[in-house]
């Protein structure tokens, strides 16, 4: 029961963090969050939100996969979540590269960072639709 509660709470906390992580750069660029410059230092909050998500992700994986939950949920959903987990690692590497002010190929890395984000959102939505106990109850 406690495993289920922790898995559920960390899962929905990660959803809120992910929305904030994705929205932040667009809101900052659009000027909704005050001055845009200095852009890269102001993007540090974006990175810290990702690291907080990483901590929630470790707790989420630990409690879901060490309990009977892992045996009863949809296997395809777990595969989607596993690919998403590796993509988060790739996204952190791309993000850390983008944080470097003298980056020469910024456009290419920016584009990759954007499309990995799109892939992540699709995989995570798939995982939630297939594996969320809360959604199964609503359906
Ligand atoms: C789950 C992980 C992450 C997601 C979903 C994500 C998502 C995004 C999105 C949607 C943008 C805006 C892209 C655009 O303007 O087209 C962005 C920009 C950026 N992200 Fe991330 N990000 C993640 C991780 C990180 C990390 C860990 C860092 C730094 C350590 C980082 C640093 C940056 C920087 C510096 C930019 C601005 C790039 C530029 O305009 O030059 N990101 N991110």
pLDDT, tens only, 13-49:
999 999 999 999 999 999 999 999 999 999 999 999 9
pTM: predicted TM-score of the whole model, two decimal places: 0.93
Which residue minimizes the CA distance to atom 8 of ligand 1? 22
By the 8 A CB rule, do 123 and 80 touch?
yes
Asked if residue 106 has its Cβ within 6 Å of ligand 1, the reply is yes
Is 69 a pocket residue for ligand 1 (Cβ < 6 Å)? no
**Closest ligand 1 atom number to CA of residue 88:** 1
Determine the distance separating the centroid of ligand 1 and the alpha carbon of 76, expressed in angstroms.
Answer: 28
Distant-in-sequence, close-in-space partners of 26: CB < 8 Å, separation ≥ 6: none
Q: How far is CA 4 from CA 60, 74, 82, in A?
A: 10, 15, 19
Pocket probe mutation, ligand 1, options 29, 58, 95, max atoms within 8 Å of Cβ: 95
C-beta 57 within 6 A of ligand 1 = no
Domain extent, residue 132, equals 2-138
The total of structural domains in the chain comes to 1
17: which DSSP letter? H
Instruction: Count the alpha carbons within 13 Å of 53 in the hemisphere toward its beta carbon.
Output: 22
Model confidence over 54-113: pLDDT tens digits?
999 999 999 999 888 888 899 999 999 999 999 999 999 999 999 999 999 999 999 999
């Amino acid at each position: 029961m406690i495993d289920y509660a922790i898995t559920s709470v960390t899962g929905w906390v990660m959803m809120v963090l992910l929305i904030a992580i994705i929205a932040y750069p667009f809101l900052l660029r659009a000027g909704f969050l005050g001055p845009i410059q200095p852009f890269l230092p102001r993007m540090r909050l974006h990175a810290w939100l990702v690291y907080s998500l990483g901590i929630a992700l470790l707790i989420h994986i630990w409690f879901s996969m060490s309990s009977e939950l892992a045996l009863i949920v949809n296997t395809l959903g777990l595969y989607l979540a596993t690919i998403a987990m590796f993509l988060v690692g790739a996204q952190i590497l791309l993000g850390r590269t983008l944080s470097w002010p003298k980056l020469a190929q910024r456009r290419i890395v920016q584009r990759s960072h954007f499309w990995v984000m799109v892939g992540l959102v699709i995989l995570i939505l798939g995982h939630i639709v297939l594996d969320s106990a809360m959604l199964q109850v609503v359906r």
